[in-house]
Amino acid sequence: MTETPQTRTDAPTLSAQYQPGEVEGRRYEGWVSAGHFRGDASSDKPPFTIVIPPPNVTGSLHVGHALDHTIQDTLVRRRRMQGYEALWLPGMDHAGIATQNVVERQLAAEGLSRHDLGREKFVERVWQWKAESGGAILGQMRRLGDSVDWERERFTMDEGLSRAVQTIFKRLYDGGLIYRAERIINWCPRCLTALSDIEVDHTDDDGELVSIRYSDEVVVATTRAETMLGDTAVAVNPDDERYKHLIGTEVELPLTGRRIPIVADEHVDPTFGTGMVKVTPAHDPNDFEIGQRHGLPSLTIMDERGVITAHGPFQGLDRFEARPAIVAALRAQGLIVAEKRPYVHAVGHCSRCKTTVEPRLSLQWFVNTGPLAKAAGDAVRDGRTRIEPPELAKRYFNWVDNMHDWCISRQLWWGHRIPVWYGPDGEVVCVGPDEQPPSGDGWRQDEDVLDTWFSSALWPFSTLGWPDATPDLAKFYPTSVLVTGYDILFFWVARMMMFGLYAMDGKQPFDVVALHGIVRDQHGKKMSKSFGNVVDPLDWIDRFGADATRFTLARGANPGSDVAVSEEWVQGSRNFCNKLWNATRFALMNGAHTEGELPASLSTVDRWILSRLQHVVAEVDQQLEGFEIAKACDTLYHFAWDDVCDWYVELVKPVLATADGDATRRVLGHVLDQLLRLLHPVMPFVTEELWTALTKGKTVVTAAWPVADQALVDDAAEAELATVQRVVTEIRRFRSDQGLRPGQRVTARLGGLAGAGIAAHEPLIRSLVRLDEPGDGFAATATLAVTGAIGVELDTRGTIDVAAERARLEKDRAAAQKEADQCRAKLGNPAFVDKAPEQVVGKIKDRLAAAEADLARIVAALGALPAS
């Protein structure tokens, strides 16, 4: 064959290196302006819908968002390529407490409070802040590459969603599913509002457990001594023989002079502590239930700021000041039986300001969740909604099957105001969106606003136009997948299920709930500012590119599992981007293209890579359908790096350098074309830049998703190339063990190739491992058995300093032998094996196996050395 360079003069040019900053912004704005992300309700394509879990208007892109959005974008981009009418709908949550706090801090810096402005002016100020500073995260989503339909962007306080909120409130109220009552709720003494469960963060805090003697026979223990001022009973279990004679009697409450009853209640665990519990109905949810069962009075002994209001010496003290003061007073009277410090116990904190939450009896609005929660459980049980991974469905059922009524009122000014008016004569009127509120003297609207989660629970259908019967709602509801973290499965997911099924006549809000874990550092630690391990994904995007950031996160995204990341891994992903860039650039320079059909007559190497490609397409499809994004990334990474770059490109270099390589150029173009399409959903920017250069196409965003072609599966070619790879790998390993330089040529005789069916590949093997044909004077100084049939004889004279190499290998053998002996000694010591943790023993076993493998390799290398 005539050797002729095949560099194409008309090939699209790629820069020598990939520069993400020069590509990402340009490509993203091009996609948006071309309308590639729009969802068309009039399309006859099958729909695929994801509504983005709305980030807070106060928020910025953190690593959890980056993971969540990468998974969603991967799913959406793939479906778009598969021919679906894909809609990924963006938007933001008004974040009642967080946003009000931001604006109140601004006012405080000006020496003002919201009360100085009044409600109307304060709300105007919040809208002004939202317009000027809110929603920074939306621009950051563009940096990440989110393929959302920006023309459908929604906000939980916009006009349409406000109408939806008022509509469902009215329906629930008229249906008896919303009511107002005094109940124990989570209260933040700093934000001065009720909180939902998801707005409370529980941490294990150091406290104290004190046991207090109420009488000779009555001793109770508490971590909150200040609440004893509000005790209205002591409770015991009715079956506890120790205290049956006390049931129905009274005891004097210390420090107050009040007498309180001793009641029998099955809630009391007779094995915990003394088997007696103090009952403070106004300041503990369990005590409130006991109080309701026994008709006990509820005495509120703190105000909304956590200051003691009970008459006496402690009045006016903050709750944390009153606690030690009360313990000291009890101690002075000899009533403290025991004190335990520190006593670690779970304490709730406001997720916004970190203030310790106070259980508080308060008049609030509630949703009766009973029938709604049952419907939410039924929808998963009967298969309308599937939870991935399936094992997390049990946690979902544990929540919805035991759900308490939901406190939906908040004592804020920013949010959806409760649409209820009170009349001068005690009238209560709930007003729908198309109704006029009552007017006249004495009528006033409820001061509270709704929990932020109330409006976001409507998100899957309110964003599509509900309560109107819009084309969007008809086309894109139910939504296809909800992607979210398992940590809010109980809260937001359950609420959306309840409201979606209720408002949409039993139609589920999403077909699949795909749950992922939280992002941790490389050591498995939860990210925390106090640990100093928090990752800013925008910093990674700036330094390594969006594709490298996305690929790192996606490679850890196993369903329901936490994701470990490190900067080192992002650097590795950036190297992967560069590998793709260099491979495509090489292919273009050597004439690879995608024009015309694949040739009918192909070499074994070409048939091998096409066959491998079909397996990869099938595997990736199966993995993505099962939301196993990490596995799909791993499959594509190894195919791209190992099969395509390290093997195929190297195997075909000699062919590409000739005039007879047209078929291979077409195959190389096809393989890269398909590979870039497969990688595009996870790595959109670099794949777009490379694919358009390779194919001369407009965009990979709407290119067809690859489909495996079984006609191209070639088991014989794969088996043949597997043997070639084994031969090359073993010879390379031998060369490395002998310390040969990569470019150093060695004379060798290859035996058994014909019997193994790979004789035709001998020139290729010699080229890859730098082996010359044996000539006169050839002497086999080293032998290498690759398989039972294939052997290699090498003349290493003049290429190896035998004495130095033998000394080096002997030193390595001694070190490996010492490691193996130490591991065997530990594993042979019963005291170690029986007492050490299982994972520690496992590591020693792994070290022993590695040492034994090293020994076998070194002994083989020594045996292969020529006699000195």
Binding residues, as ranges, are 529
- Residue 527 is classified by DSSP as P
Alpha-carbon distance of 618 to 629, in angstroms, equals 14
Q: Count CA atoms within 13 Å of residue 868 on its CB side.
A: 10
Closest CA to 487 of 464, 460, 508, 516: 516
- CA gap 355, 389 in Å, rounded: 35
CB neighbour list of residue 131: distance below 8 Å, 6 or more residues apart: none
Contacts of 206 (CB under 8 A, 6+ apart): 341, 342, 343, 344
Query: 144, 549 in Cβ contact below 8 A?
Result: yes
- Cα–Cα dist 475/47, whole Å: 7
Q: Are 124 and 59 in contact (CB under 8 A)?
A: no
Spatial CB neighbours of 819, under 8 Å, sequence gap ≥ 6: 847, 851, 854
Amino acid residing at 706: P
Q: How far apart are CA 466 and CA 450, in angstroms?
A: 19
Rounded CA separation 696/680 (Å): 16
Residue 214 CB neighbours (<10 A): 20
Q: Which two tokens stand for residue 118?
A: 């009044």
Cβ partners under 8 Å of residue 786, min gap 6: 726, 727, 730, 731, 792
Which parts are annotated binding residues for ATP? Answer: 529
Neighbours of 258 (CB within 10 A): 14
∠ CA 634-636-642, nearest 5°, is 95
Between the alpha carbon of residue 615 and those of residues 669, 675, 714, 774, 797, the distances in Å are 18, 12, 10, 39, 44
Asked if 476 and 41 touch (Cβ cutoff 8 Å), the reply is: yes
Rounded-to-integer distance, Cα 308 and Cα 302, Å: 4
Amino acid symbol at 55: P
Is the separation of the CB atoms in 720 and 608 below 8 Å? Answer: yes
Say if residue 866 is preceded by a cis peptide, omega within 30 of 0: no
Distance CA 257, CA 176 (A): 43
627 three-class SS: coil
Tell me how far apart the alpha carbons of residues 249 and 233 are, in angstroms, rounded to a whole number.
Answer: 10
Rounded Cα gap, residues 488 and 491, in angstroms:
5
- What stretches of 545-566 show up as alpha helix (H) in DSSP? 546-554
Q: Which are the contacts of 426, defined by CB distance < 8 A and separation ≥ 6?
A: none
| Residue 47 CB partners (closer than 8 Å, separation 6+) | 39, 84, 85, 86, 87, 475, 476, 480
| Residues belonging to the chain | 868
230 contacts: CB under 8 Å, gap ≥ 6: 280, 281, 282, 283, 299, 300, 301, 310
Two tokens at 434? 């198309």
Cα–Cα distance between 113 and 722 in angstroms, integer?
A: 75
Closest Cα to residue 74, out of 48, 47, 44?
48
* Main-chain phi, psi angles of 458, to 5 degrees: -90, -5
Residue type, 854: D
Type of residue at 513:
V
> Which pair of tokens denotes residue 832?
């170690």
